[in-house]
Amino acid sequence: MKILVLGGAGYIGSHTVSELIDAGEQVVIVDNLETGHIEAVHEKAKFYKGDIRDREFVDSVFENEKIDGVIHFAANSLVGESMTNPLKYYDNNLNGTKVLLQSMVAHGVDKIVFSSTAATYGEPESIPILETDKTEPTNAYGETKLSMEKMMKWTGVAHGLKYVALRYFNACGAHVNGHIGEAHNPETHLIPLILQVPNGQREAISIFGDDYDTKDGTCVRDYIHVTDLAQAHILAMKYLAAGNESNVFNLGNGVGFTVKEVIETARKVTGHPIPAVVSPRRSGDPAKLIASSEKAKSVLGWKPQHDDLEEIIATAWNWHKNHPNGFAK
Ligand code: UDP
């Protein structure tokens, strides 16, 4: 198949491109390189630099390439920024997806796998979280991702487009080959921030609140390796190619770790004492997020391969210690 990967120069996008190419698929990447990195563009993929809000540009890609299916990562994804600049999120995430879907409909491309998020649920009613649980996002980022899912649903009703939305929990780790990994600027995610300490870029890691109702008072999250997420996109595209109906799947390991446990595991992996300082809670952080991924396992046949936190952090450390400034030289 020829797959168009939007946002293929970003963190999860570049890992998915790598798995697609290893699986023998043809890949076309579109990325505006606002948060993606040219160095992360796979040498075997065809690359178009451009913005999905630009209808002429998107049309030209569909006209030049005979695309069988789209995998859509091209969006802004910082919760904090979405609260201070929500209209940026409505513009890029929603307007971008609208233009993309218009162009897909016009060019008869009817399959899309979509990068969604656990942030669509908001504060969970029960743990583990099921796909049928209520969706009440507590931030603008989650709200735009949920609206993107709904835009695909109604486009499907009207025009026959089929979609799979993959709701990720905490993406982390790096490719085992050490060539690609996480590189956000600014970095806000726990594991890369922890690893800045043994890398000599930060004195200590802040623990955002230790008075939550959890086993050690710190927040619990479900950490899932980026290559396992990447594999799920391939399975989802196969699922659509086999003629199945649109669907939504959670992707997580189904195991929760506290912030303190993650720091302790990073100490073990790096051999560094990694000092930690308790600071105030970060607003909008639910105490506990753990996925039920039973549906992805039974329907898609997904099976995470890197489900050990120590191994996940070791892949991240292998990337960060050799690329302390990400892709920058
Ligand atoms: N966290 C923390 N210190 C940091 C960054 C994050 O204690 O410097 C906590 C954060 O409050 C959350 C967990 O680590 O409970 C994971 O945060 P991250 O931003 O990585 O992912 P999120 O769960 O927000 O998607």
Q: What is the mean pLDDT of the chain?
A: 97
Backbone angles phi, psi at 79, to 5 degrees: -55, -50
Ligand 1 atom with least separation from CA of 118: 25
What's the DSSP call for residue 169? -
Residue 185 has pLDDT above 90, yes or no: no
Residue 285 has pLDDT above 90, yes or no: no
Alpha carbons 98 and 152: distance in angstroms, whole number: 9
CA angle 25, 145, 79 (to 5 degrees): 110
CA-closest candidate to residue 15, choices 36, 33, 46, 1: 36
Q: What is the pLDDT of residue 1?
A: 95
Distance 283 CA to ligand 1 centre (A): 11
Q: Of all residues in the chain, what percent carry a pLDDT higher than 90? A: 95
DSSP string, 37-77: -GGGS-TTSEEEE--TT-HHHHHHHHHHS--SEEEE--S--
Q: What is the pLDDT of residue 79?
A: 86
Give strand ranges (E) for the chain. Answer: 2-6, 26-31, 46-49, 69-72, 111-117, 162-168, 170-172, 205-208, 220-221, 223-225, 247-251, 257-258, 276-279
Q: In terms of pTM, does the model score above 0.85?
A: yes
Q: What is the pLDDT of residue 132?
A: 98
User: What interhelical angle do 226-241 and 11-22 show, nearest 10?
Assistant: 60
Tens-digit pLDDT profile for residues 76-129: 999 889 989 999 999 999 999 999 999 999 999 999 999 999 999 998 999 999
CA-closest candidate to residue 282, choices 221, 197, 215: 221
Is residue 190 in contact with ligand 1, taking CB distance under 6 Å?
yes
Alpha carbons 162 and 239: distance in angstroms, whole number: 10
Which residue, by CA, sits nearest to atom 10 of ligand 1?
A: 208
Is residue 172 in contact with ligand 1, taking CB distance under 6 Å?
no
- Choosing from 129, 170, 190, 205 the residue with most ligand 1 atoms within 8 A of its CB, the one to mutate for a pocket test is 190
Backbone angles phi, psi at 248, to 5 degrees: -130, 135
Tens-digit pLDDT profile for residues 37-75: 999 999 999 999 999 999 999 999 999 999 999 999 999
Distance 246 CA to ligand 1 centre (A): 31
Alpha carbons 274 and 266: distance in angstroms, whole number: 8
Is residue 88 in contact with ligand 1, taking CB distance under 6 Å?
no
Is residue 208 in contact with ligand 1, taking CB distance under 6 Å?
yes
